[in-house]
Amino acid sequence: MQIRSRRYSPDKRRIRNSVYCLFVCLPAPWNLIHGVFLLLVVLNKHRFWFVALTAIIALVVWQAVAWIWRLPAFILPTPFQVAARFWQALMDGSLIRHLLITLIEVLAGLTAGVGFATLTGYWLAKSRPAERLLSPYLVASQALPMVAIAPLLIIWFGSGLVSKILICTLTVFFPILINTIVGVRAVPESLRELVRSLHATPAQTLRYLEVPAALPVFLGGLRVGATLSVIGAVVGEFVGSDRGLGFLINVGRGQYDTALVFATILTLIALALSLYYSVVLLEKLTLRWNRNYSSQSRS
């Protein structure tokens, strides 16, 4: 019978002993902090528990700061006060109503921005003269902060949904445009020569070569654009609006209802994370062939 024994690296043993000595020699408060740090290091391989523990630690620190300094609620509300205000806004329907308005603006602006940026990026990627002509204007448009442009758009298009959708579109446009150009131009020239040798039409080249090759880079830009679309909608609502989560933040700020501001900000974070991981899920579904090809190449 063969007896298996665990491999034990001298380097790991040395690190573990030094960490243990450091843990024992530190004073009592630092022992707790160091113990939490070691626990985070261990849980780093388990993503869900790592995120959950860090969120709990952040809430505990938040509660401790508000309790130790005895800060009033209009300066720093406790997590329990924020949760109570969130539940109140959820029950009276105000949070859902403003969330739906912001979600409509974000989805419409993201769709328009992605469509326009993809078509423009593909055209610029295929035409060097057009890129040299338009690239200075595109870069100059990104040098202007959206907060400075948003008032003009609201004056021109009103304070309704159209101006907010246009602000989201302009916010999303540039990162999607750049990633589309980079993705299309990253196609290996050897593959283009192979497609030309097979007498493929431009439509077939686009479908079977350029779209699959550019998709990983394009989806990377879509991740950025999905989160930036939320920022664009909120900027437009800040400047001029009577509905939406940005308007709700303005209401809470004007009434010194800081708990409502925190609740709305957490809702915006949840919205941005939902959009981001929706793109991640789309990437897993559409790039499954790429992962399979990579695994076969390594094997």
Tell me the pLDDT tens digit for each residue of 106-125. Answer: 999 999 999 999 999 999 99
Cα-only R_g, the chain: 26
Q: Where are the CATH 1.10.3720.10 domain residues in the chain? A: 87-298
In this prediction the pTM is: 0.79
The pLDDT, as a whole number, for residue 159 is: 82
| Paired tokens of 257 | 């209802």
Question: Which stretch of 29-38, 59-68, 203-212 has the lowest confidence by average pLDDT?
Answer: 29-38
The pLDDT, as a whole number, for residue 231 is: 92
Residues, the chain, total? 299
Q: Which of 120, 150, 113 is nearest to 137 (CA)?
A: 120
If one compares 198 and 46, the residue with the highest pLDDT of the two is: 198
Q: How far apart are CA 150 and CA 168, in angstroms?
A: 10
Rounded mean pLDDT of 21-32? 50
The pLDDT, as a whole number, for residue 147 is: 83
Q: How far apart are CA 42 and CA 240, in angstroms?
A: 48
SS3 category, 33: helix
Q: How far apart are CA 90 and CA 98, in angstroms?
A: 11
Residue 195 has pLDDT above 90, yes or no: no
Rounded mean pLDDT of 96-104? 95
| Paired tokens of 263 | 């609740």
**What pLDDT, in 10s, does the model give residues 71-92?**
898 899 999 999 999 999 999 9
Q: How far apart are CA 274 and CA 269, in angstroms?
A: 9
Q: How confident is the model at residue 15 (pLDDT cuts 50, 70, 90)?
A: very low
User: With pLDDT > 90 as the criterion, what percentage of the chain qualifies?
Assistant: 43
If one compares 177 and 21, the residue with the highest pLDDT of the two is: 177
Helix or strand (DSSP H, E) at 168: helix 161-185
Report, at the CATH architecture level, how domain 87-298 is classified. Orthogonal Bundle (1.10)
The pLDDT, as a whole number, for residue 180 is: 93
| Paired tokens of 162 | 């159209």
Judged on CB neighbours under 10 Å (0-12, 13-18, 19+), 177 is buried
Q: In this structure, how many other beta carbons lie within 10 angstroms of the beta carbon of residue 50?
A: 16
Residue 127 has pLDDT above 60, yes or no: yes
SS3 category, 144: coil
**What pLDDT, in 10s, does the model give residues 132-159?**
888 888 888 777 788 888 889 888 998 8
Distances (CA, A) of 134 to 5, 141, 191: 66, 11, 28
